[in-house]
Every structure is written in structure tokens, then in C-alpha cells.
């Protein structure tokens, strides 16, 4: 966007005084600024708002949202889940950007003075104005933001106003510049760290770099799990752990086999204490959906069941928080970080020096062909266990493609990843239905006789299992359809062209 058409201008500190310096072709510039009020910038932990170029802040018991297109929205509300905000324009926009599972958290705070720069004519009529936000972040950074607001029929005055803003050093606000200017020390976070894979990079280098980039993701999510801010902290933590484990098993022979085995055991040991809490999170998050599955007469036992889950979740959360704060955990995670930080502790395997690109082609092509072979046998009579196997293979293929993505041209890569994702969605649902049935059965058999609502719970859960079973069968048909696409000649050809190498190392 050119500076003459910008929706917002970022001005240097101290420019406020220059804005009113002298007449502007018969128009008199006037700045009014309100008293300073405290403000707190909010975002969810994965920084979706920063990435979208939005600035959300709480001030005067309201939430204000500055959009990249120059709109300012405001409504009552405070930090929390977007779904818990009162209806309003800010909530409407946030709902499209922030995950409903994520809690809005403070990024930083400071003092804000709001005001206007107005260009007045000889009658005292405003012909153009800019809304001013003078932010003083507690990090010491000051930001002056000017948002032009033209008045109908006074186009010439708006041009003058923009000229003045530019003359005072104003430049178009781009992306997350504002956020970073306000809180320069605020750590930027992403749960999918972007890696570059150099053409001559070895498999050892790539595998090490992937794991090294995932360990900070683990660390970044620990405080949110401990404080129990939202369930996504644990989810992201587990995904990062699972990816680390996948690198260890998929890059076979790249690291020393004995060390690989020990590392896999250590990573699994980190995963184990998180499992029960995640299961309970999933049940409780799906509460509404599950309740909708049952007719009213049969849902009576569900409340009692969810109460039990909620109570157990509190215990599981406290236990995990304690674990993550323990000295043993701190030492273990630090030891793992050191191993992958580039020193000599990580030992090389037989395939350490294979070029990454070649290894990627080999692994992806092999995995894809295996999936196609298995998929061709899938039919109405296929056992659930085989579909689960397929799901695991697809997941491994997905990780491989994500790990090695940077080594391939994006335009050829993206459509393949997309068709894989679609297939995985179906497989995931199928698996969820299956796992839910199993765990509900286990839950009922563990209830014991002393449970006061035992019979009601058992009735509800029995009905629920029946519903889940029906859904699982429906999903199976969908999976067969998705596989047909995924193993179609076109997709096969695309995988072949991108990943099949006649001279690939065996």
C-alpha cells in the first residue's frame, strides 16, 4: 500500500507536536488528546491477531479492535474466550480469527491517549480528521498511530491531511509492525516453526534442526498448561512431542540406532503423563456435541458422567502441572535440548550424510505407495484395525511432507498435502468414534457399584455408544471415497513426478 493511500499511519515519537505546525492552505490543524488511560494489548497464545495484522486492546472497560482496513471497532468485554464475550462487532471479527478454544491473554500494557487531528476551515468546520492513538508501552516504546477519516465532500482536505501525516514522518502500517513497535521484547510464537532446507543439506542436519526447533515449542507451552489457561497449550505441546518422536522413527538410520532407541523412550516418557488430561479435555470439549447425540430421555446420566470427568480433570491437571514444575522434568528437557543443539552428543547413523532431498523423496514415495496398496484392498468388510493402520501411515506421510515441505516447490506440494488432509479428516473422525466407544465402555466398567447415578450413567452411555457406532460405520463409507481420490491416477502421477527418483538410494 502506498503511503498516500494508507489506512493507518505510524508516526515517530514526538511527531504529535509537529502535526499542528502552521496552516495548511487555509485549513487550521488542531490536535485534541484525552487524558491517558491504562491499556492492555490482548492476543491468544498462538498470536493469530498479530499474524492477521490486528491490534486488540482493553481500555476503559471496553475492547477496541484496530483492523488493517482502517476500521476501529469497540464493544464491552475483557480478556477471556471469544465465545464468552457479549455480542458485538469486536466479537464478530474475533470469532473468524481466534480459535474458540483459545483464551485471550495480555501481551503487554501501558498508557493510551486517544484524540484527533482535525483540519478546520474558516467557519470552524472540520474538513478532514485523523483519529490518534498515542500508545506508551511499558516496554518503553511509544507509538503514535493516525487513522485518516475523510468527510464526505471534502476530498481535497483529506489529501492535505495525508500530506501532513507523511511530512511528519508517517508511514503506512504494515502487518504486525505496530505490535512489534509497542512490545519489541515480546517473543513471537508459532507452533509450526518454519525451517529452510538448503539444497545440499544432509538428512542428519535436517532431522536435528527439526527437533531443535520443536523443543522451544514445548517450553513455550509449559506455562499455559501449568496455569491451565486453555486446552490448546497441552494440545500443541503433545503435537510437538509427537513430531519429535516421528522424526526419530521416520529418519531411520540418520542418528545412531542405539541412541535413537533411547531417545524415543525418553520422548515417550514425556508424553505419558499428558495422556489422561488430554483425553478428559477432549471429552469435556465435546460435551455439547455429545449431549446433542442423545434424545433427551436418555441424556440424564451424561451430566453425572461429565461431572465425574470434570473432577478427574482437575486432579489430572494438578498432577501434570506439578510434573512440569519438577526439577526432574526441567533437567530432562534441558538435557534433550542440549543433545539437539548441535554439539557432539548426537551421534550419527549410517544414513546421516544422505542429502535431505533424496531421503525425503525416498521416504515419501515409499509411504505413499504403501498407502495406495493398502487402500486398494479397502472395502465394506475391511477390519477396523486395518483402517487404523492406514490412519497411522497417513499421519506419518503427513509429518514427512510437513518436515520436508521446504525442500519442494510449494505450488506442486500444496495440492497433495490438501488431498491428504481431507483423507486424514475422515480417518480422524473414524478413529475418534472408535476410541470414544472403547473409552466409554471402559468408563462404565470402572464405575463400580457405589456410584450413586450408576444406572442412569450406564443407560446414557449405552445409548451413546450405539450412536457413535452408527457414525463410525457412516464415516467408513466416506473414507473409501476419499481414498479413491487419493490413489487416483492424477494424484499418483503428481506424487510420482515430485518424489520418485530412479537413482534414489535404497
Residue 151 interacting with other proteins (CB under 8 A): yes
Cell of 26: 487555509
Stretch that binds other proteins, among 148-156, 192-200, 365-373, 380-388 (CB under 8 A): 148-156
Residue 123 interacting with other proteins (CB under 8 A): yes
Q: Provide the 3-class DSSP secondary structure of residue 66.
A: strand
Q: 271, 286, 270, 281: which is closest to 231 by C-alpha?
A: 281
Burial code (b: 16+ CB inside 10 Å, e: under 16) for 3-15 equals eeebebbbbeeeb
- When binding is defined by CB under 8 A, the residue of 17, 87, 152, 272 that contacts other proteins is 152
Minimum CB separation from other proteins for residue 26, in Å?
Answer: 12
**Site for other proteins, residues 339 to 358, rule: CB under 8 A:** none
The dihedral over CA atoms of 20, 22, 26, 28, expressed in degrees to the nearest 10, equals 20
Task: State the Cα–Cα distance between residues 70 and 133, nearest whole angstrom.
Answer: 13
Minimum CB separation from other proteins for residue 114, in Å?
Answer: 15
DSSP 275-292: HHHHHHHHHHHTHHHHHH
Binding mask 374-413 for other proteins (x = CB under 8 A): ----------------------------------------
- When binding is defined by CB under 8 A, the residue of 12, 139, 150, 462 that contacts other proteins is 150
Stretch that binds other proteins, among 92-100, 150-158, 419-427, 447-455 (CB under 8 A): 150-158
- When binding is defined by CB under 8 A, the residue of 125, 319, 470, 493 that contacts other proteins is 125
Minimum CB separation from other proteins for residue 4, in Å?
Answer: 20
| Residue with smaller CB distance to other proteins, 7 or 126 | 126
| Residue with smaller CB distance to other proteins, 52 or 120 | 120
Residue 154 interacting with other proteins (CB under 8 A): yes
The secondary structure element, H or E, covering residue 110 is strand 105-120
**Do 357 and 199 meet the contact criterion of CB atoms below 8 Å apart?**
yes
Binding mask 62-101 for other proteins (x = CB under 8 A): ----------------------------------------
Cell of 258: 542405539
Stretch that binds other proteins, among 152-160, 250-258, 305-313, 318-326 (CB under 8 A): 152-160
**Do 80 and 94 meet the contact criterion of CB atoms below 8 Å apart?**
no
DSSP 396-427: HHHHHHHHHGGGS-HHHHHHHHHHHHHHHHHH
Residue 25 interacting with other proteins (CB under 8 A): no
DSSP 161-190: HHHHHHHTT-EE--TTHHHHHH-TTSPP--
| Residue with smaller CB distance to other proteins, 154 or 495 | 154
Q: 202, 241, 200: which is closest to 219 by C-alpha?
A: 241
Minimum CB separation from other proteins for residue 133, in Å?
Answer: 17
| Residue with smaller CB distance to other proteins, 125 or 501 | 125
Residue 319 interacting with other proteins (CB under 8 A): no
74 phi and psi angles, rounded to 5 deg: -150, 145
Minimum CB separation from other proteins for residue 126, in Å?
Answer: 4
Q: Report, in this order, helix, strand and coil percent for the chain, each rounded to 5.
A: 55, 15, 30
User: Which residues bind to other proteins, rule: CB under 8 A?
Assistant: 121, 123-126, 150-154
Amino acid at each position: 500500500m502506498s503511503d498516500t493511500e494508507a489506512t493507518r499511519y505510524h508516526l515517530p515519537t514526538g511527531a504529535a507536536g509537529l502535526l499542528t505546525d502552521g496552516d495548511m492552505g487555509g485549513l487550521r490543524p488542531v490536535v485534541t488528546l484525552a487524558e491517558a488511560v491504562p491499556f492492555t494489548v490482548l492476543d491468544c497464545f498462538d498470536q493469530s491477531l498479530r499474524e492477521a495484522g490486528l491490534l486488540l486492546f482493553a481500555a476503559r472497560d471496553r475492547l477496541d479492535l484496530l483492523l488493517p482496513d482502517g476500521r476501529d471497532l469497540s464493544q464491552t468485554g475483557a480478556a477471556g474466550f471469544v465465545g464468552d464475550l457479549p455480542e458485538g462487532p469486536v466479537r464478530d471479527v474475533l470469532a473468524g480469527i481466534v480459535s474458540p478454544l483459545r483464551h485471550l491473554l495480555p501481551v503487554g500494557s501501558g498508557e493510551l491517549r486517544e484524540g484527533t487531528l482535525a483540519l478546520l476551515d474558516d467557519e470552524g468546520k472540520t474538513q478532514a480528521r485523523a483519529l490518534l492513538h498515542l500508545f506508551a508501552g511499558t516496554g518503553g516504546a511509544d507509538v503514535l498511530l493516525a487513522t485518516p477519516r475523510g468527510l464526505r465532500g471534502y476530498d481535497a482536505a483529506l489529501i492535505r491531511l495525508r500530506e501532513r501525516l507523511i511530512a511528519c514522518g508517517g508511514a503506512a502500517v504494515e502487518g504486525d509492525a505496530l505490535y512489534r513497535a509497542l512490545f519489541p521484547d515480546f517473543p513471537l510464537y508459532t507452533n509450526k516453526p518454519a525451517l529452510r532446507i538448503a539444497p545440499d543439506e544432509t538428512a542428519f542436519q535436517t532431522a536435528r534442526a527439526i527437533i531443535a526447533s520443536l523443543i522451544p515449542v514445548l517450553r513455550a507451552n509449559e506455562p499455559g498448561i501449568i496455569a491451565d489457561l486453555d486446552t490448546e497449550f497441552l494440545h500443541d505441546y503433545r503435537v510437538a512431542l509427537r513430531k519429535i518422536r516421528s522424526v526419530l522413527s521416520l529418519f531411520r538410520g540418520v542418528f545412531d540406532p542405539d541412541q535413537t532407541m533411547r531417545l524415543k523412550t525418553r520422548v515417550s516418557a514425556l508424553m505419558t503423563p499428558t495422556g489422561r488430561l488430554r483425553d478428559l479435555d477432549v471429552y469435556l470439549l465435546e460435551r455439547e456435541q455429545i449431549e446433542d447425540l442423545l434424545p433427551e430421555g436418555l441424556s440424564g446420566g451424561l451430566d453425572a458422567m461429565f461431572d465425574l470427568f470434570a473432577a478427574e480433570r482437575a486432579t489430572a491437571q494438578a498432577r501434570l502441572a506439578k510434573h512440569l514444575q519438577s526439577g526432574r522434568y526441567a533437567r530432562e528437557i534441558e538435557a534433550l535440548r542440549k543433545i539437539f543443539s548441535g554439539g557432539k552428543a548426537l551421534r550419527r547413523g549410517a544414513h546421516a550424510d544422505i542429502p535431505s532431498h533424496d531421503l525425503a523423496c525416498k521416504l515419501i514415495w515409499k509411504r505413499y505407495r504403501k498407502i495406495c496398496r493398502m487402500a486398494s484392498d479397502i472395502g465394506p468388510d475391511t477390519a477396523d484395525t486395518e483402517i487404523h493402520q492406514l490412519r497411522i501411515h497417513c499421519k506419518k506421510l503427513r509429518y514427512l511432507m510437513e518436515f520436508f515441505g521446504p525442500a519442494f516447490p510449494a505450488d506442486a506440494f500444496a495440492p497433495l498435502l490438501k488431498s491428504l488432509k481431507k483423507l486424514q479428516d475422515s480417518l480422524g473422525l473414524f478413529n475418534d468414534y472408535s476410541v470414544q466407544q472403547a473409552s466409554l465402555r471402559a468408563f462404565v466398567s470402572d464405575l463400580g457399584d457405589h456410584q450413586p447415578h450408576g444406572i442412569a450413567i450406564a443407560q446414557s452411555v449405552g445409548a451413546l455408544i450405539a450412536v457413535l457406532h452408527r457414525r463410525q460405520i457412516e464415516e467408513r463409507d466416506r473414507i473409501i471415497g476419499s481414498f479413491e481420490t487419493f490413489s487416483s491416477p492424477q494424484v499418483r502421477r503428481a506424487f510420482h513426478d515430485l518424489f520418485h527418483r530412479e537413482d534414489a538410494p535404497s
